[in-house]
Amino acid sequence: MSIGEVLAHLRTEFPDTTISKLRFLEAEGLVDPQRTASGYRKYSWNDVARLRFVLTAQRDQYLPLRVIREQLDRMESEEPVAPSRPALVAVGAEKAPADPSDTRVPREDVMERTGVSGELLDELERMGLVTARPPGWYDGDAVVIVEAVVGLTKYGLELRHLRGFRAASDREVGLFTQLLAPLVRQSDPAARARANETARDLQALSQRLHAALVRAGLRGELGR
């Protein structure tokens, strides 16, 4: 398969995956597709399985690439089969947390996984895009934010442009907080559960709306 065909396969389960992300994972040694005589990448189904393994481990367990690579190497040395899913072992924990806010990722692991420098990570904190928790760890959402920032800057976006993303998200948080307030004020555990479920639904709908609006706008700019 070509890299575009692989991307089409993976995006059904990992919609945020990009060609740049696939190239980054290749550069990090997580996958090694063959090359044609003209230099084009050609992926096998085993390559796709490895990528799915890596993306699942990052999304569900926030594991650094070093740990994922060790798991893949161990699996391949034990059994010559394509990896199906990451082992349920997180760094310093017996099982993966269900909520990104429960995840604790050390600063060094954030830098290793995303390739970001310490100076840039400090700048993102000063801009309010990510927040370090004492004594210097980050939650799972912070890792996702840094990965996205790194990807955007590779296309030429400057850090000053990211303030608009922060402002837009703050406006959404304020709007959704008003919608959730009646449930949050109730002391009933069932109401709290409904508030959490409603928050997840609002997040998902907001992401879909944003993605569709951007797609529609770009189609117009590209004359499609």
Same domain (yes/no): 110, 82: no
Same domain (yes/no): 91, 102: no
Using CA atoms, how far residue 92 sits from 86, 88, 112, in Å, is: 16, 12, 17
Same domain (yes/no): 4, 69: yes
Sign of CA dihedral 20, 25, 26, 28: positive
Judged against a pLDDT cut of 50, whether residue 96 lies above it is answered with no
pLDDT digits (tens, 9 = 90+) for 133-158: 877 889 888 888 898 888 888 888 88
Same domain (yes/no): 165, 127: no
Predicted local confidence at residue 224, as pLDDT? 63
Predicted local confidence at residue 98, as pLDDT? 45
Q: Which of 10, 89, 16 is nearest to 50 (CA)?
A: 10
Same domain (yes/no): 80, 23: yes
Predicted local confidence at residue 174, as pLDDT? 93
Q: How many residues does the chain have?
A: 224
Range of the domain at 69: 1-96
Same domain (yes/no): 38, 71: yes
Domains identified in the chain, total number = 3
pLDDT digits (tens, 9 = 90+) for 159-207: 888 888 889 999 999 999 999 999 888 888 888 888 888 888 888 888 8
Same domain (yes/no): 66, 7: yes
Provide the CATH number for the domain around residue 75.
1.10.1660.10
Angstrom distance (rounded) from CA 16 to CA 210: 13
Neighbours of 215 (CB within 10 A): 11
- Mark which of 96, 120, 135 sits at the end of a domain: 96
144, 107 Cβ separation under 8 angstroms:
no
Q: Between these two residues, 199 and 103, which has the higher pLDDT value?
A: 199
Mean pLDDT confidence for 63-86: 71
Same domain (yes/no): 151, 85: no
Same domain (yes/no): 11, 86: yes
Predicted local confidence at residue 90, as pLDDT? 39
Same domain (yes/no): 80, 4: yes
Rama region for 115: left / alpha / beta (φ>0; ψ in -120 to 50; rest): left
Same domain (yes/no): 12, 50: yes
